[in-house]
């Protein structure tokens, strides 16, 4: 009950902040406004230069980047040049990429995932930064007195699905679980945040758990092997390193018959059983609309409320369910390749 109340209160705070700052939810398309902006830009001859730093290539982050680019193109057409660079999972490369954007005096930087956001914040205090696929901005930016806005040159959208409902899903799917493995990369701050919340909810419900962390893909197989030998189910948050290595994970969990609940849809489709998922294209598109508000209308990112996904959906992956001989209860949407 307590976690339900906390979830409701948090949703209310975010909604009120969004209304106060005049920001839309992380969905939708500003059709007529985009058309007007495109026409105005063409008439003025102004061309915007926007740099995108994406942490790593996998389906969820790719979708968010595509949504962001599509929103800018809908608003500006050929009057915006977007340079997309991928850091291939390396935080140091994120720094190199965003420092290049700063050196070239780009009009705006989009940071896709937490390490990219942190690198961008370290690189500039003046160029507007719009993040996406960032779970918790307070954690990512070490903000203690969080009120829904960053207070610096940063705004964006979050990929956080309701964690209390994700924990409910674990217990709904595996009601007899005695111990849940929580698997994530120790280098990803927002994964650690999600793990901490899931641990709170599992403790509240009297369910045992064990954290299984890995530093990179090199030690992942050994960590997953240990987890399946000691636990009844596995939870993986929206962890970028795990997302890039779901095939490796499922090669261990599948033969062991372990139910794997993932933080988002694309991870599930790459080797998990179920998820409570948001749409990454939508949050990327919403981030692009926020960028348009900054570039065209002079909005201050410091005062723009962080956007969240409007909806989340219970989903399962039939191929994995069949692999482990698992019957999913009613209320889950089957998602195929």
Q: How many domains in the chain? A: 2
Query: Is residue 151 included in any domain, yes or no?
Result: yes
Q: What is the pLDDT of residue 25?
A: 45
Co-location of 153 and 47 in the same domain: yes
- Classify residue 142 by burial, with Cβ atoms within 10 Å: 0-12, 13-18, 19+: exposed
Co-location of 145 and 47 in the same domain: yes
Co-location of 12 and 101 in the same domain: yes
Pairwise CA distance, residues 71 & 23, whole Å:
15
Co-location of 145 and 248 in the same domain: no
Q: What is the pLDDT of residue 310?
A: 81
Co-location of 136 and 203 in the same domain: no
User: For residue 197, what is the domain's CATH number?
Assistant: 3.40.50.2300
Query: Is residue 240 included in any domain, yes or no?
Result: yes
Q: Edge-to-edge strand order for the sheet containing 208-214?
A: 208-214, 179-185, 233-236, 260-262, 274-277, 313-316, 333-334
Q: What is the pLDDT of residue 27?
A: 44
Please give the DSSP secondary-structure letter assigned to residue 77: G
- Domain of residue 121 covers 2-159+278-303
pTM comes to 0.78
Pairwise CA distance, residues 91 & 55, whole Å:
7
Q: What is the pLDDT of residue 44?
A: 60
- Profile the chain (337 residues) by mean pLDDT over runs of 10 residues: 41 37 42 50 76 95 97 97 96 97 98 97 98 95 95 96 94 96 94 96 97 93 97 96 95 97 94 93 97 98 94 94 96 91
Q: What is the pLDDT of residue 309?
A: 86
Pairwise CA distance, residues 189 & 59, whole Å:
20
Q: What is the pLDDT of residue 26?
A: 52
Co-location of 67 and 190 in the same domain: no
Please give the DSSP secondary-structure letter assigned to residue 325: T
Co-location of 73 and 116 in the same domain: yes
Q: What is the pLDDT of residue 106?
A: 98
Co-location of 70 and 186 in the same domain: no
Q: What is the pLDDT of residue 291?
A: 98
Query: Is residue 173 included in any domain, yes or no?
Result: yes
Co-location of 34 and 149 in the same domain: yes
Query: Is residue 27 included in any domain, yes or no?
Result: yes
Q: Are strands 313-316 and 154-158 parallel, antiparallel or unpaired?
A: unpaired
Co-location of 55 and 155 in the same domain: yes
Query: Is residue 253 included in any domain, yes or no?
Result: yes
Query: Is residue 308 included in any domain, yes or no?
Result: no
Co-location of 131 and 170 in the same domain: no
Co-location of 176 and 244 in the same domain: yes
């Amino acid at each position: 009950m307590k976690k339900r109340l906390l979830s409701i209160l948090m949703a209310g705070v975010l909604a009120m902040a969004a209304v106060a700052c005049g920001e839309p939810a992380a969905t939708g398309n500003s059709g007529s406004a985009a058309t007007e902006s495109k026409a105005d830009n063409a008439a003025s001859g102004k061309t915007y230069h926007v740099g995108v730093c994406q942490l790593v290539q996998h389906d969820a982050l790719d979708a968010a980047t595509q949504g962001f680019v599509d929103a800018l193109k809908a608003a500006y057409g050929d009057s915006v040049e977007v340079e997309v660079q991928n850091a291939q999972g390396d935080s140091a490369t994120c720094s190199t990429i965003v420092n290049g954007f700063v050196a070239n005096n780009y009009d705006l930087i989009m940071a896709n995932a937490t390490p990219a956001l942190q690198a961008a914040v370290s690189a500039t205090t003046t160029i507007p930064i719009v993040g996406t696929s960032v779970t918790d901005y307070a954690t990512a930016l070490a903000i203690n007195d969080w009120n829904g806005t960053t207070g610096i040159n940063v705004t964006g959208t979050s990929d956080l699905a309701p964690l209390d409902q994700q924990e409910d899903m674990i217990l709904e799917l595996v009601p007899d679980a005695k111990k849940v493995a929580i698997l994530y990369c120790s280098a990803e701050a927002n994964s650690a945040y999600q793990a901490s919340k899931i641990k709170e909810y599992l403790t509240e419900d009297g369910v045992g758990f064990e954290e299984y962390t890995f530093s990179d893909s090199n030690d992942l197989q050994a960590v997953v092997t240990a987890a399946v030998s000691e636990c009844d189910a596995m939870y993986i948050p929206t962890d970028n390193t795990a997302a890039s290595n779901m095939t490796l994970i499922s090669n261990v969990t599948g033969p062991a018959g372990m139910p794997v609940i993932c933080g988002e849809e694309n991870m599930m489709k790459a080797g998990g059983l179920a998820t409570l998922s948001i749409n990454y294209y939508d949050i990327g598109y919403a981030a692009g609309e926020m960028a348009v508000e900054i570039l065209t209308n002079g909005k201050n990112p410091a005062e723009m409320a962080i956007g969240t996904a409007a909806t989340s959906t219970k989903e399962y992956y039939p191929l994995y369910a069949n692999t482990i001989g698992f019957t999913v209860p009613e209320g889950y949407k089957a998602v195929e390749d």
